[in-house]
Structure 1
Amino acid sequence: MKPADIFIAILVAVIWGLAFVASRIALDEFSPELMTAMRFTIAAVPCLFIPKPKIAWSLLIAISFTLFLGQFLSQAYGIAHGVPVGLTSVVVQSQALFTIGFAAIAFGERPTPVQTLGIVVAAVGLLLICGTVGYDFSVGAFAVLMIAPICFAVGNLLLRGARGAPMFALALVVNGPAPTFQSLIHMSPTGLVCLLAIGAISTSIAYWLWGRLLRDYPAAQVVPFALLVPFVGSAASSIVFGEKFGPLRLAGMLTVIGGIAVMVLARRPQPLPKTA
């Protein structure tokens, strides 16, 4: 990769890691439903100026409900109900485990022995994390959070075949019209900055940059940079919120990241054939 593109890949990972902190701050003012609605309202602004991708509406909607709506709404719900930000960033990245597993079921893609080892290691890490559930957050919150990596994985597979969800309506139903509009009317400058950060920067700009890298380079060269996200998210959460991890949870988080590293680094890009 070119040095400039390596910098972009690292920058995207840092943006995504800091987005977990911004989401946690925004959730002090907004419900998970309303924050997700505002996130994608802001992120949808570029749609006014660019044409629709040349894919079927059914596929576009399916990707929207999994890769974006399902992932980010469940992620916001988990954070809002006490799951630590650093832990959330690790759990979301376990999508690599589910992506490989679902690809094996849907497309018959058998993981390599090294990838299988990575799956086992990451699964052990998740089990260690499960052993810490119930102390500072509920089983229900963790269960909802686990929807995020699953939706992420399904969305990844749908993208191989290649936004639009009524989130404001859901916010009105769940929270009621008055609380919803009161949250918007009395939005603080901090809340607005956080929404702009996760809507415009983390969702629109960062995903666009990531897509450009995946277009220009093999996935095996780009995807490993995503391993930086949990470290950035955990470090930022530790600084901003004073988040601490017990031995069992820290061991689980590091084990998950180690398993993911084994999975994404298992396949190296094949060298291009020499031309005469």
Structure 2
Amino acid sequence: MAGLTLRDTGLAILVSLIWGMGFVVAKGGMSHFPPILLMALRFSITAVALVWFMGPVGSNLPRLALISVVGASLQYSLTFSGVNGLGAGLAALVVQLEVPFLVILGALLLGERPTARKWLGILIAFAGVGVIASQEQFSGSMVSILLVMSGALTWAFGQVLVRRLTGMTGLSVTAWIAVLAAPQLFILSALFETGQIEAIRTAGPGAWSAAIYLGLVMTALGYFLWNSLLLRQEVGRVAPFLLLLPVFSVIGGILFLDEAITLPRLIGGAIVLSGVALITIAWPTATKAQPDQPTTGDQTGT
């Protein structure tokens, strides 16, 4: 397969920008909407946009239903409830644990055999989160960090299930999951949150713009561009560009949310990204994709 063209390189960077800024937009949206309600609105908007692309599912429906529960409703509830208590940039760094969790579950449930380099990357990534979590100034955010980590784990499990789907396109999978997950998220919001009706009634243009960005730009457009890339390129060629995602989140948090950047946070983040890089970036001497290469194209944790 040919190397990345200039156009595909630009698209890969654009996807990272769209998804990275999504954390910044979500933080703004959660200043008005409760986090699970915001995710319910997000998936409702995505469902309306993509319902036309659902297509037939055949025997995949039970597995899609399980994916929508674990890899969407539960995952987004955990992740963004945690994001609500963290800075956008920090949350995007912790979310990177999705990749190590995916490799671990791939080994446990799919019989994949990660290389020693990938196991080393996993240890380094978790060590980086440990550095972040152990900092005194983040002691009050430990619950939020654990929520985001739990969301990363459920996302990885959802990806294992996605890998077992047959005869479906990435766009169709995204559409089905959005349609199935939206009502579940409204139910979860009703069970665990309060003030939803008042939040919807009093939402201004800024709050609705955040929901629309998350639903149309971050999810529908972002996944469309990503899946389009994966139709032309190997996962190993484009996945490393997702390392830019937390970089854009950190920059966006500084510019739009007045988030502070500290040396300990930079060190912890650099360790996390180094570990994830070991997992996702192929060595130049590799001649073919490895069977344990993480698959992030059908439904990611953003």
CA distance in 1, matches of 2:137, 2:212: 33
- Of the candidates 253, 256, 268, which is equivalent to residue 237 of structure 1? 253
**RMSD (Å), alpha carbons:** 2.0
Q: Which amino acid aligns with 1:84?
A: G
Residues 39 and 77 in structure 2, CA contact (< 8 A), matched pair in contact too: yes
Q: Tell me if the contact between 2:128 and 2:270 (Cα under 8 Å) persists in the aligned partners.
A: yes
How far did residue 137 of structure 1 move?
3.4
CA distance in 2, matches of 1:210, 1:263: 19
Cα 1:158–1:53, aligned 2, differ >3 Å: closer, same or farther? farther
Contact 1:21 1:237 in 2 (8 A): yes
Matching of residue 226 in structure 1 with residue 229 in structure 2: no
TM-score for the superposition, normalised by structure 2: 0.83
Is the contact made by 1:13 and 1:229 (CA closer than 8 Å) also made in structure 2? yes
- 2:219 counterpart (203, 209, 215): 203
Cα distance 1:41–1:116, how it changes in 2: closer, same or farther (>3 A)?
same
CA distance in 2, matches of 1:78, 1:192: 21
- 1: CA distance between counterparts of 2:53 and 2:236? 29
Q: CA deviation at 1:129?
A: 1.4
- State the partner residue of 1:65: 69
Does residue 171 (structure 1) correspond to residue 189 (structure 2)? The answer is yes
Identical-pair percentage: 28
Following the alignment from structure 2 to structure 1, what is the Cα–Cα distance between the partners of residues 108 and 64?
Answer: 22
Structure 2 counterpart of 1:216? 232
User: Which residue is equivalent to 2:110?
Assistant: 107
Q: Corresponding residue for 1:32? A: 35
Matches within 5 A, 1:71-86: 71-80=75-84, 82-86=85-89
Number of residues of Structure 1 aligned to a counterpart in Structure 2? 269
> Hey, what's the Cα distance between the residues in 2 that align with 1:271 and 1:183?
51
Residue in 1 aligned with 2:152? 149
Counterpart in the other structure of 1:41: 44
- TM-score with structure 1 setting the length: 0.90
Q: 1:8 to 1:244 in 2, by over 3 A?
A: same
Question: Quick one: which amino acid aligns to residue 64 of structure 1?
Answer: S
What are the within-5 Å matches in structure 2 for residues 157-196 of structure 1?
Answer: 157-162=160-165, 163=177, 164-165=180-181, 166-176=184-194, 179-196=195-212
1:270 maps to 2:273 = no
For 1:226, the aligned partner's letter is L
Q: Report if aligned partners of 1:95, 1:149 keep a CA contact under 8 Å in 2.
A: yes
Preserved CA contact (<8 Å) 2:94 2:145: no
> 1:10 corresponds to which residue?
13
Query: Bigger shift: 239-248 or 102-111?
Result: 239-248
* Alignment correspondent of 2:95: 92
**SS of residue paired to 1:83:** coil
What SS is found at the alignment partner of 1:137?
A: helix
The unaligned stretches of length 5 or more in structure 1 are: none
Structure 2 unaligned regions, length at least 5:
166-176, 290-302
Once the two structures are TM-superposed, the CA of residue 169 in structure 1 deviates from its matched residue by 2.2
In structure 1, C-alpha distance between the alignment counterparts of 2:76 and 2:97, rounded to whole Å: 14
1:151-194 CA distance string (max 9 Å, x none): 22112222211221322222223334xx2122111111001111
Is contact 1:43–1:204 with CA below 8 Å preserved after alignment? yes
